[in-house]
Each structure stands twice: as structure tokens, then as C-alpha cells.
Chain A
């Protein structure tokens, strides 16, 4: 009896080991699949055009800086300007989105008013409507009032961000007791000041995560900017990358092309490598709890 038991447990153990090996193989395969294209990007961004033309290489070479110089000073694609434009739009959008989403969430979380539930239901209902379906009217209005090539028409819509609002609201429900607000009131603190000096600091972790997500989303945004930013000096990085695709590809210095792509994704990649832990936590925290 005892013997067969231990045999059973040994068999179970062996089974578990086999299962573990299979699972790790799958995980390593998927991780490699994710990393492969970025690794090839890095390899080719460090090779000269001539080296890239000669054939495949799995190892990087030493021309990263040279390609960076060439890409940075390219006459037709002004990548430094593009990165500056993208950075300006993304940073201001992120700050606006995060601040006003917190403000809106606070308005609904902390106060009782007649239209409170209606307002909340409305925001939830518009949450999933994509920008593409109102893009036609948006573009039309922008051109009608001569607002194409103005950054602020791409930035200000960030004030109304239902998804970020929902995240903030969820977060407030878990960390913001009404007693804190009441105490501030007793101390004679105004409502607006209470929000800015007492509530906002309590929301720091949520604000940080949403700043990153909004920044990344805006930095990567292609659809609307490509239809509105038509002047060369106004273009953002994704538009320049798409331009690269439509240019006569065969005449290009490929080392430079890979470097352009690397530059487009590098800022986000660096932030992600540093803050991946809190970013990954942020993915679930805002989503609907199961």
C-alpha cells in the first residue's frame, strides 16, 4: 500500500516535471517571438548600408553612432523636429488627460448632485466609442476654421478621456475616504484647494501610471495627426515613419532607415524598461474587476 502510494507520487512528480518543461519551452518561444523583431532592428541599426546589403547577420556591428548621426541630420526627414513635436504633444496631452480625468472622477466621487448618476452612466456609455467615428466631422471642422497644423486641436480633446476617468474613479474608491475631505472642509480649506493639495497627492501612483499610458498613446498616435498635420515642420514621428514607407525605398541608406525606426520606439522602450513593474500593474488596476 505504502509502496504503491510512493510510486504514484513519483509518477505525479515526473509528470509535473515534464509539464513544467513544456510550459517553459512555450514561454521561451513566445518571449523570443516578441523580442526577435526588436533584436533584428538593433542589429541592423548598427550595420552600414553596405553590410546590410551583403546578407543576414545575427550579431550587431559597431556603426550605431554613425547611423545615429546620419539619421539625426537627414535632410528630408527631420527626426529631431519630429521627436520634439511628438514629445510636446504627448507630454501636454498626458498632463491634461491625467489632471482632468482625476478632477472629473473627484467631482463624481466626492459630491452628491442631481445629475451625478446620469453623468457617470453617460461617461461609461461613451467609453468604447472610438475617435475614428467622429473623425470625419472633426477634420472638417478643423479645416473649416483653419486649425489644421495646430497642435492644440490634438491636445485639448485629451481633457475628455473616459477610460482614464474610470481608472481614477476606481482608484479613488479604494484609497480616498470622505473623512479626509470633511476634515479639510472643517479646517476651512476651499473645495478646489482641497483637490489640488490634499486629493491629488493621494492619487500619485494612479496619476503616474496614467501619465505614462496617455503619453505612450499620444506618442504612438497616427490616424488623426496624419490627417491634420500637413506642414513638414509640424509632423510627428509616426507620420515621418509612414513617409519612410512611401518613399522610394530602394535608394535609402538602410542603416539609417533602421535607425529612424529605433529612434521612434526608443523613448517608450526606455521608460518601459525602467518602470515595467508598475506599468504592468497599471494594466489590470484600471480594468473592470472580474
Chain B
């Protein structure tokens, strides 16, 4: 029959065309523009436009040149980003792993799981800028936390949470932790439940206790999804912006110790529209993300 020869291939192309067009126009071209502009001097000073003028790698050189105090801003901000990420992500992953084990344990048989999952996942959906504004009002000098501390007589003067590096970083990490540990818990739970049940039964019959079962059965089989979780969290951490930006009003106070890489990028994109420097920063973030993505991609394809 003639019908057999009908090829539907063209429909495949037609159906995926909108995706690729949108990607081309709104992501690929801007990406190329970003990289291209990183080799130009191109910014606004007041009302005058400077450039665009080709300057080779000078934007990159400028990024890595120490200022008068000997600080290299981009390294300082990369360091901040890493510290802020680690402070939030380490407890996030450890606690999520612990909770995932609690929730999936038949022996413990935790009641009210739906309630706990609903509550711990909730902060993930909350607007990060509103969440930060909320933390700012709660922890400000006249906020309820300080009012409570003074009412209890723990301190005579309000604790200025936003004047100390430790407390600002602590608050940012606490927020990141709260926003992500529920999500990670749910992912790891799915990972544990995906493990063949007969393996746990076999371990049980062989007389393994729960600690042995965890380290000898659960953890090794959970490693791929754990790697995936850690690295996607890293890529997410690299983009950290809303929380420190709103919490510190863009200043990264005190003394720019909570300024992240994307806040640095945002500073160049804001008023001065410095596409040269913004481009160079973007390329650096892109390269770091690219390396991390490659690891994710490897870990994903290896499993199949």
C-alpha cells in the first residue's frame, strides 16, 4: 500500500521548531552578544556613551587586577558565593539525607509524612525577594527578633544583625537552607524508594543493622542521585542573587562580604550598562557552569 511510504519526519521538525527558534532568539543570540561584548569597551558614563571600542582581553585583565587595597573583586565575590553556598548546602544535603531516611524507614513508620513534607517544601515556592524582605524586617534593629531578645533580657541593646559578616552570612545561608532542604529531601526520598526492596530484605536477613544497611546498601546505590543533587545545587548556588541582593539592599554589607558573583554582574548591568565588563563576568560564570554541567551530564548518561 502506498500509505506505508508516508513519512512523518517533517512533523517532527515542525513541532520542535518553535522551541529552537525561541532558544535562538532569546538565549543563543544574547549569549553570543555577551561573549562578543566582553572584548569591547562599552558603557555609559552619565549621559555619554563610551565605546563600543574593541579592546581585546582588557576587560578580563581588569577583572583580575587588584585594586588599591590589593583585593581582586571577582575573586572576593567568587569566595563569598562559595562560602554562602557551602554554609547553606552542607546542612541542606545532610539534613535532607537524614529526613529521607526517616521518611522511608518501615521500622520507624513516621506518621504525618504528608504534613511534614508539605511544610518543609513550602519555602521553596515562596518569592525569594519577599522572603528576604521578611527576614530583613524580622531581624532589623526594631524587628520582632530583637524585641524578643530585649524582652527576655538577653541583651540591653539591639543586636545589629546586618552590621556583622557572620550574622549576614548566617541569615543568607539559613534562608537558602530553608528554601532548599525540603526539595532535596523529596528528591532523595524518591531515590531511596527507587532502590530494589529485595536488597534491603536481603540485608535484613543477613542480620545487618540499620547503620550497616545505610552505609553498605542505601548510600552506594544513592550515590548517582546524590551527585546529581550536589552539582545542580552548585549550579544553583552560583546563581545566588535575590536573597543577598534584597537582604543587603544590593550592597553586600558589611564591606561587600555578602556580594555574590551575580550581584557583581547586576551592578554592571544596572545604571552604567557596562556590557564590556558584564560580558566578561558572564563568560567566567558560564565557564564555571559549563564545567559543572558537564559533570552532571556525564553522571546522567553513564547510568543508562
From A2-10, A68-76, A241-249, the one touching the partner chain is A241-249
Selected contact of A35 from candidates B9, B119, B129, CB within 8 Å: B119
A159 vs B283: C-alpha distance when bound (angstroms) = 24
A272 vs B10: C-alpha distance when bound (angstroms) = 41
* A189 interfacial by beta-carbon distance below 8 Å: no
Q: How far is the CB of A240 from chain B (nearest CB, A)?
A: 9
**A44–B144 touching, CB < 8 Å:** yes
Contact pattern, B 142-173, Cβ under 8 Å of A = 1, otherwise 0: 10100110010000000000000000000000
A24 vs B99: C-alpha distance when bound (angstroms) = 11
Indicate the member of B12, B20, B36 with the most A CB atoms within 10 Å: B12
Chain A binding surface SS class: helix
A26 vs B118: C-alpha distance when bound (angstroms) = 16
**A27–B116 touching, CB < 8 Å:** yes
Closest to A289 in B: B194
B: contact size bracket: 35 or more
Residues of B within 8 A of A114 (CB): 9
Closest to B281 in A: A136
**B129–A238 touching, CB < 8 Å:** yes
Residues of B within 8 A of A140 (CB): 30, 33, 37, 273, 275
Selected contact of B137 from candidates A129, A158, A220, A254, CB within 8 Å: A254
Residues of A within 8 A of B98 (CB): 26
Task: Known A268-B125, A272-B122; judge A119-B16 contact (CB<8 A).
Answer: yes
Selected contact of A160 from candidates B23, B138, B239, CB within 8 Å: B23
* A116 interfacial by beta-carbon distance below 8 Å: yes
Closest to A41 in B: B134
From B66-74, B76-84, B199-207, B222-230, the one touching the partner chain is B222-230
A50 vs B236: C-alpha distance when bound (angstroms) = 41
Task: Known A112-B9, A280-B186; judge A246-B32 contact (CB<8 A).
Answer: no
Closest to B243 in A: A222
A112 vs B8: C-alpha distance when bound (angstroms) = 8
* A264 interfacial by beta-carbon distance below 8 Å: yes
Selected contact of B22 from candidates A31, A128, A156, A254, CB within 8 Å: A156
A30 vs B100: C-alpha distance when bound (angstroms) = 13
A287 vs B225: C-alpha distance when bound (angstroms) = 10
Task: Known A108-B16, A280-B117; judge A126-B130 contact (CB<8 A).
Answer: no
* A201 interfacial by beta-carbon distance below 8 Å: no
Q: How far is the CB of B41 from chain A (nearest CB, A)?
A: 14
Q: How far is the CB of A189 from chain B (nearest CB, A)?
A: 13
Closest to B296 in A: A128
Residues of A within 8 A of B21 (CB): 159
A157 vs B132: C-alpha distance when bound (angstroms) = 27
**A100–B18 touching, CB < 8 Å:** yes
* B253 interfacial by beta-carbon distance below 8 Å: no
A158 vs B18: C-alpha distance when bound (angstroms) = 11
Indicate the member of A35, A44, A130, A254 with the most B CB atoms within 10 Å: A130
Task: Known A27-B116, A34-B122, A129-B293; judge A137-B33 contact (CB<8 A).
Answer: yes
B-side residues, CB < 8 A to A, are 8-16, 18-23, 25-37, 95, 98-99, 102, 107-108, 110, 114-123, 125-138, 140, 142, 144, 147-148, 151, 178, 181-183, 186-187, 189-191, 194-195, 221-222, 224-225, 228, 232, 235, 238-239, 241-242, 245-247, 249-250, 262, 265-266, 268-270, 273, 275, 278-279, 282-283, 285-286, 289-290, 292-293, 296-297, 300
